[in-house]
Chain A
Amino acid sequence: MTAPMKSFRQRTAWIAWIAYPTLAVALCLGLWEALVRINDVPLYILPKPSDFLARLIADRTTVLAQAWATSVSIALGFGMAVLVAVPLALAIISVGTLERGLFPVIVFLNIMPKTVIGPILIVWFGVSPAVAVFIVFLMCFFPILVDSMSGFRATDPRLRYITRSMGASAFQTFRYVRLPAAMGYIFAGMKIGIVKAVEGVIIAEFIGSSAGLGFMIMRASSFMDMELMFSGLIATALVALVFNGAMLVAEKFLMPWNRPRHA
């Protein structure tokens, strides 16, 4: 292939990347709009896209403020989970007794549905965003912990022979070999974690928060405000999209060596 051809294709690739999904979404919404109009479905059963999209724009300051509150809860809970889970994974892997002692506890906590702790958290923290932050933390903590543990285990033991023959200290082996080798696994855990985080944060805001999109949707539900509920749904999806996108960008930035998906 000639060079100019390739660069032309590269330059136009992003247009297709945006155009196809946009077209698909527009088609779905169009079909929805048409079906609701043709069958004359009342607003309190199912609103039309034109209804809730207009509402989303009209109430954008409120929705944006609630989306911001939700995003802060996700960022705090997720950030804390990463900061605790990754070093803990390393500690568990490095100390055999820790692994034997903690592993059953981890398995137990991992299979326990995290949202059941919500009512208890309400007693502890009151109805506040702290409940949501804590549930987000619990939701993403375990996938990150478990995958980080696999990551720190992944290094070939003979690689340790090679670094020892270089006279590497334990810290050097960690910095040059074990941490970068574990990065792919840590990111895999973080990508599962962020999906769970968005799910967790909304449920937490349903039951025990005074702010956020979940709170907004729950309040709209009690007023049977279908337009606002669907606006909240769209906003939640957008928040999820932003966080997932941020993970992909961070991965590309922190792991430039990663094999391209279509290589």
Chain B
Amino acid sequence: MTTGASIVARGITKVYGSDSSAYHALGPIDLDIKPGEFVSLIGPSGCGKSTTLLLASGLEPVTQGSIEVDGKPLTKPITEVGIVFQDHLLLDFRTAMKNVMLQQEIRGLDKSVIQARAESLFERLNLKGAENRYPWQLSGGMRQRVSIARALVHDPSMLLMDEPFGALDAISRTQIRHDLEMLWLDTRKTVLFITHSIDEAVGLSDRVLVMSKGPGTIVEEIKIDLPRPRPAHLGEYPEFTKYANRIYSIFEKLGVYKFK
């Protein structure tokens, strides 16, 4: 099994467009993500969270600065990665299993090995029985589980998730959060997790990076020292409330929240 990769970024910025229409979306920011670490980026809309994810995967080039993944400078999109977006982005013309097996077909991997991995992921993600169903026959939560299985089936060293549970209802979200944590505890991939939800960030992460916008920068780093696996109802931990309140107060200080 592939272990997690490290991600080190120094002074990265992203400017979209040029001249008068240029938009400074991000940075400069630094990242130091250790192998197997679960790191969340949290911040208001438009603070460059998603941009950070695209830069860390090499899918978009940095405007300035440099990124190293496992000590190697990043120059083109990395393939040792699984990506999950807020929308499941499954292909509606493939069944759930075939959507996951797209990884095998495009990468030209051994079919029986990947098939076995896919089946075990379906088991762990409570997708048994969904194999031969098309995406339109699945619930929103199940579609997102299939999307997670697709991101993990090829055993990547890192998992990049951009608000993966954002479109789900609260009940599905709690369950899928737990399932993801259990999978992560077994495999220890490096995870970069982008979210709007303080519960998710504190509930899942080893470390939370709080971002502010205009242009996006990291304003605070919070180490989450809670035992794992974490319970469905995070309020069981008094420390959880402490961490959550800290993020709330940072947001209030930044003017993200304007409560009177």
Contacts and interface: CB of A to CB of B under 8 A. Distances in A.
Interface in B57-90: 57, 59, 77-79, 81-83, 85, 87, 89
B54 interface: yes
A183 B93 CA distance: 10
Contacts of A161: 54, 57, 59, 83, 85
A91 B100 CA distance: 30
B106 A168 contact: yes
A181 B77 contact: no
Given A172-B106, A176-B102, A176-B105, A165 B89 contact: no
Interface of B is mostly: loop
A180 B93 contact: yes
Contacts of A259: 134, 136
A163 B90 CA distance: 11
A158 interface: yes
B106 A158 contact: no
Interface in B85-139: 85, 87, 89, 91-95, 102-103, 105-107, 134, 136
Interface in A215-263: 255, 257, 259
Contacts of A158: 85, 87, 89
A181 B90 CA distance: 11
Given A158-B85, A172-B106, A259-B136, A165 B78 contact: yes
Contacts of B94: 257
Contacts of A172: 106
Interface residues of B, number: 25
A29 to B, nearest CB: 41
Contacts of A257: 92-95, 134
B91 A181 contact: yes
Contacts of A15: none
Provide the main secondary structure of the chain A interface: helix
A164 B78 CA distance: 9
A163 B106 contact: yes
Interface in B40-54: 54
A158 B50 CA distance: 12
Contact of B79 (A159, A165, A177): A165
A161 B82 CA distance: 11
Nearest to B104: A166
Taking each of B93, B103, B136, B154, which has the highest tally of chain A beta carbons within 10 Å of its own beta carbon? B93
A42 interface: no
Report which residue of A161, A165, A176 has the largest number of chain B beta carbons within 10 angstroms of its beta carbon. A165
A165 B59 contact: yes
Given A164-B77, A180-B93, A257-B134, 5 more contacts: A158-B85, A159-B91, A161-B54, A166-B103, A177-B91
18 contacts: A156-B87, A158-B85, A159-B89, A161-B59, A162-B85, A163-B106, A165-B57, A165-B59, A165-B79, A166-B103, A168-B106, A172-B106, A176-B102, A177-B91, A181-B91, A257-B94, A257-B95, A259-B136
Interface of B: 54, 57, 59, 77-79, 81-83, 85, 87, 89, 91-95, 102-103, 105-107, 134, 136, 154
